[in-house]
Amino acid sequence: MDEFASIRKFVSQFVTFTEEEWRAHQSALTRRWLRKGEFLLTEGQVCNHVSFVNRGLFRNFNLVRDEERTQFFVFENEYTTDYCSFVTRQPSRDFIVAMEDAEILQLEYTAMQSLYEKYGVWQKYGRLIAEYVFVFTAYRSQNLLLKTPEELYLQLMLEKPQVLERVPLKYVASFLGVTPEALSRIRKRVAQNR
């Protein structure tokens, strides 16, 4: 299978491009493989890439008082990056780790800037993706403020059931902001109410 088929399909949900414009974008991408447990980004590094996940699973997290706090999980056909670090060129506070063997397509910062300068369609795509990231981040923040861990768990079951199938429960608990024991109680209550 064409390793660029999935990203092309994803991008075409946002913008329409010519073959020349697509070839320019495709030629700027670098294919990379990571092993389970390998870090794509660590705290203190400047994030130089946006990475489209062709295969695998990533976990984005922060260290807060020596405790890992999971921000989100990234699966196939999604991007992972520390967008703040990528845009501002400042050191990241994030860690991004492969939770499975993974294949990604990376777009480096200067290559993206070059695409922006040469092609209006890639400027438009960059703006639309920035809006997408903003909405995702605002939605996640609102959920953390307004929903109980049980409501977050039910939402996770509905919106991203693959998390519960592929992610160890200790990381799901971290994502929900609860202990593994509290997650066990939530899962038990949910199972009883089904």
CB of 186 closer than 8 Å to CB of 149: yes
Chain position carrying tokens 């062709």: 54
Closest to 78 (Cα-Cα) out of 102, 60, 54, 112: 54
Give the separation between CA 44 and CA 85, rounded to whole angstroms.
Answer: 10
**pLDDT of 194 higher than 80:** no
**pLDDT of 143 higher than 90:** no
Kindly calculate the radius of gyration of the chain based on its CA atoms and give it in whole angstroms: 18
- The fold of the 5-146 domain, in CATH, is Jelly Rolls (2.60.120)
Amino acid at 134: F
Instruction: Tell me the domain boundaries of the chain.
Output: 5-146, 147-194
pLDDT, average across residues 83-112: 97
Q: Which residues touch 59 (CB under 8 Å, ≥6 apart)?
A: 70, 72, 73, 74, 96, 97, 99, 167, 171
* Token reading at 43: 């705290």
Predicted TM-score (pTM) of the model is 0.91
Average pLDDT, the chain: 94
Confidence of residue 192 (pLDDT cuts 50, 70, 90): confident
Confidence of residue 1 (pLDDT cuts 50, 70, 90): low
* Token reading at 182: 């509290």
**pLDDT of 97 higher than 90:** yes
